[in-house]
Amino acid sequence: MNRTLTLALVAAAALAGCNKEDHTIVAGTRESRETNKVDPSTIKLPPAIEASKSYRCKDNSLVYIDWLNDKMTADIRDKKIAPATRVTAAEAGKPMTADGYSLTGTSIASSVTVERPGKGSQSCTA
C-alpha cells in the first residue's frame, strides 16, 4: 500500500509540471485556403481496367493484356507477374503503340494482333 501511495504522488507531481499552454497550429490564412481550392469538375481520373485477358500467339508464346476503359489504352506483359508496357492510341479504334510494341484489337474480340520487340507481329487468340 505504501508503494502504491508513493507511485500516485510521483505521478501527480509529474503531471503538475506539464506545460498547459494552448498549442494551435494554423496552416496559412483564410484567403490562402480559399484560393487553393480545386474545382472537382477539372479533375480527370485515370482509366480503370475493363478486362484482363491472356492470349496464345502463333509462336506458342503467351501475352497478357489489361484493357483500360478509355478504349485507347492497354497494358501488355510477356509474363503474368511482370512490369507492363502501356500502349496508347491517338483515338479509339486505332492501333495502340509504344516502345516497339503495337496492339490492334479490342477487349471483346477473341483475337488480337500484337507486335513485340524481337517477336515481330503475330496474331494471338484469347
Would 76 be classed as within a structural domain?
yes
Number of separate domains in the chain: 1
Would 8 be classed as within a structural domain?
no
Closest CA to 68 of 87, 48, 93: 48
- Indicate the helix (H) or strand (E) that contains 104: strand 101-104
Would 82 be classed as within a structural domain?
yes
Range of the domain at 106: 49-125
Would 43 be classed as within a structural domain?
no
Would 9 be classed as within a structural domain?
no
Would 27 be classed as within a structural domain?
no
* Structure confidence by residue, pLDDT tens digits, 6-58: 777 776 666 666 666 676 776 666 666 666 677 888 888 889 999 999 999 99
Q: Are 103 and 85 in contact (CB under 8 A)?
A: no
Would 61 be classed as within a structural domain?
yes
Q: 3 or 80: which carries more pLDDT confidence?
A: 80
* Structure confidence by residue, pLDDT tens digits, 91-109: 888 999 998 999 999 999 9
Would 30 be classed as within a structural domain?
no
Indicate yes or no: pTM above 0.75: no
